[in-house]
Amino acid sequence: MKVYYNLSEYQSSKKSIVTVGTFDGVHLGHQKLLERICFKAASAECTSVMLTFYPHPRMVLFPDDNDLKLLNTLDERIELLRKTGLEHLIVHPFSVAFSRTTADEYVNDILVGQLKVHTLVIGYDHHFGRNREGNLKNLKLLAPEGNFEVEEIPAQVVDHVNISSTKIRQALLNGDVSKASEFLGYQYSVSGKVVAGNAFGRSMGFPTANLEVDNIAKLIPGNGVYAVHVRFGGVSYMGMGNIGTRPTVNADLRKPSLEVHLFGFNGDLYGKQLEVKFASRLRDEIKFDNVELLKKQLDDDAVAVQNYFAVSHGNGSDALQ
């Protein structure tokens, strides 16, 4: 897959099968759409193209709104898209000026003029152009003049629930990482650098790595204790993760922290980059009456995590490739 960071960089003499959108999460619905694009491109002797935008349009149009949390960083999204068979990815800078592009300009100048669209494959709820004035109905009216086709992809369904990035975000905020994984088609992950903590976990026999998440817009799952995979140095370790304010020992901690304990690892992780994949949520974060009760619960949690992985992977090895 070739990546372009501006529409002007893309030059091709071939007609293209195009899709447009944010594709946050690159979930199963997105994957189905991209599968269709790649199939159509091969069948029609065209090239497959995705047009996406960075930063997220909402971050540009509503800069004071810090509520939006994304499933992927740009780099994560690109790596997920590489696995789909897509030939060309255009990551165009989104700006206030670009947001003023009319629906007609979007179709005539970008889709037809720049991308040489043969077929536009889009989701059922696609909107485009200034003030989101363009929709599927507009596209079908404009398509004959531009000599291209429009193909609608309906909402994908898993267990009769429409898949959407919004529903995945909500599942994660609720701590339901299993449902999120089911919709995504892969385990949700967060990456960050290990920073110094208070070493309280070590004093109880569970040394933890405290992560400073790379991107402030990255969504962090809801508070609780999780079974996690922690990837470091090319090896994935079984781990126990905690997201929360550590109420038993740090009642003044207002911003939730993410810390992980790696089973079978005893080295120094300070300053290292870790990737944490969330496999399953064990329980809520609890405030205990004393440290001894917390220590007992951590022992129980460790057993529960190891039992979970023993069942999931069919063995109890600490390192998983």
pLDDT digits (tens, 9 = 90+) for 11-33: 999 999 999 989 999 999 899 88
pLDDT at 63 (0 to 100): 85
**Mean pLDDT on 116-130:** 88
Residues 31-59 pLDDT 10s: 988 999 999 999 999 999 999 999 998 88
pLDDT at 6 (0 to 100): 96
- Cα angle: 144, vertex 150, 89; to 5 degrees: 120
pLDDT at 196 (0 to 100): 82
Measured distance CA(134)–CA(86) in Å, rounded: 25
pLDDT band at 283 (very low <50, low <70, confident <90, very high): very high
Residues 214-240 pLDDT 10s: 888 999 999 999 999 999 888 999 999
pLDDT at 249 (0 to 100): 67
Out of 109-123, 262-276, 307-321, pick the least confident. Answer: 307-321
Q: Is the pLDDT of residue 108 over 60?
A: yes
Phi, psi of 142 (to 5 degrees): -85, -20
pLDDT at 267 (0 to 100): 86
Share of residues in the chain with pLDDT > 70 (%): 91
Q: Is the pLDDT of residue 321 over 70?
A: no
Q: Is the pLDDT of residue 316 over 60?
A: no
pLDDT at 317 (0 to 100): 39
Contacts of 192 (CB under 8 A, 6+ apart): 211, 212, 213, 214, 258, 273, 274, 276
Residues 235-278 pLDDT 10s: 999 999 999 987 666 655 567 789 999 998 988 899 999 999 99
Q: Is the pLDDT of residue 164 over 80?
A: yes
pLDDT averaged over every residue in the chain: 89
- The token pair at 273 is 């980059």
pLDDT at 199 (0 to 100): 61
pLDDT at 122 (0 to 100): 86
pLDDT at 201 (0 to 100): 65
Contacts of 292 (CB under 8 A, 6+ apart): none
Cis check: omega of the bond before 55, within 30 degrees of 0:
yes
β-strand partners of 190: 276
**Helix, strand or coil for residue 29?**
helix
Measured distance CA(292)–CA(1) in Å, rounded: 54
Contacts of 32 (CB under 8 A, 6+ apart): 153, 156
pLDDT at 200 (0 to 100): 64
Out of 100-114, 133-147, 233-247, 305-319, pick the least confident. Answer: 305-319
DSSP string, 248-277: TT-TT--S-EEEEEETT--S--TT-EEEEE
**Mean pLDDT on 172-200:** 91
**Most confident range, picked from 202-216, 253-267, 292-306:** 292-306
Q: Is the pLDDT of residue 198 over 80?
A: no
Share of residues in the chain with pLDDT > 90 (%): 63
pLDDT band at 315 (very low <50, low <70, confident <90, very high): very low
